[in-house]
A and B are shown apart, each in its own frame.
Chain A
Amino acid sequence: NAGVTQTPKFQVLKTGQSMTLQCAQDMNHEYMSWYRQDPGMGLRLIHYSVGAGITDQGEVPNGYNVSRSTTEDFPLRLLSAAPSQTSVYFCASRTDPTGGFWPLHFGNGTRLTVT
């Protein structure tokens, strides 16, 4: 059971480039989300999805796009990378989109540097 898989693990982009961070889970979780982690800021929610075809914005959505065409996949797109998007990105899923008691399961993260 792989859990939540993120690719790539590391990425360096130049300002203005675009890319997609991949996230896949094999636990049949309805809820998936993307967080960014910055020093001293904790984890901040970027976008989330409560099921295929349904997405919504979190705390820091600007500069990012998401879509959810399948239950398993939830890619995060950077349309035009900026140095402020240098961060560690985590994808997380949860079994029940409405059940707050269930913990988030995290991927291993993607370290992104924008120069």
Chain B
Amino acid sequence: AQKVTQAQTEISVVEKEDVTLDCVYETRDTTYYLFWYKQPPSGELVFLIRRNSFDEQNEISGRYSWNFQKSTSSFNFTITASQVVDSAVYFCALSELNTGNQFYFGTGTSLTVIP
């Protein structure tokens, strides 16, 4: 079974619109970690944020915000006032303590911001 599900394969928004990327995870561990990575058209993978299972506090960093909800096993990512530079593939990932902390990646969401 897929441990990390990103149901949105592709999203297109017009510049300055807000957009939310969904991530749903599955784990039986009580200790786990969640991550978001960005892959711009140039191809490199850039780490954006991490969260541990004990910290449900939402986080805001500039135009980016993350909503972690254990009750729904979700770790969603919102970009406010999107810009063309936000166009990229975004990956959500899970690391579980009891599986040796291997990373499980979702299949990614391709975001296109139209100017």
Contacts and interface: CB of A to CB of B under 8 A. Distances in A.
A75 interface: no
B44 A108 contact: yes
Give the contact-size bracket for chain B: 20 to 34
Contacts of B103: 33, 43, 45, 104
Interface of A: 33, 35, 40-45, 48, 58, 88, 90, 92, 97-101, 103-106, 108-109
Interface string B25-43: 0000001110101000001
Interface of B: 4, 9, 31-33, 35, 37, 43-45, 47, 50, 52, 91, 93, 95-97, 100-103, 105-108
Q: Which of B35, B52, B105 has the most CB of A within 10 A?
A: B105
A14 B78 CA distance: 43
Contacts of B33: 100-101
23 contacts: A33-B103, A35-B105, A40-B107, A42-B4, A42-B91, A43-B93, A44-B105, A45-B103, A90-B45, A97-B101, A98-B100, A99-B101, A100-B95, A100-B96, A103-B35, A103-B47, A104-B35, A104-B45, A104-B47, A106-B37, A106-B44, A108-B43, A109-B45
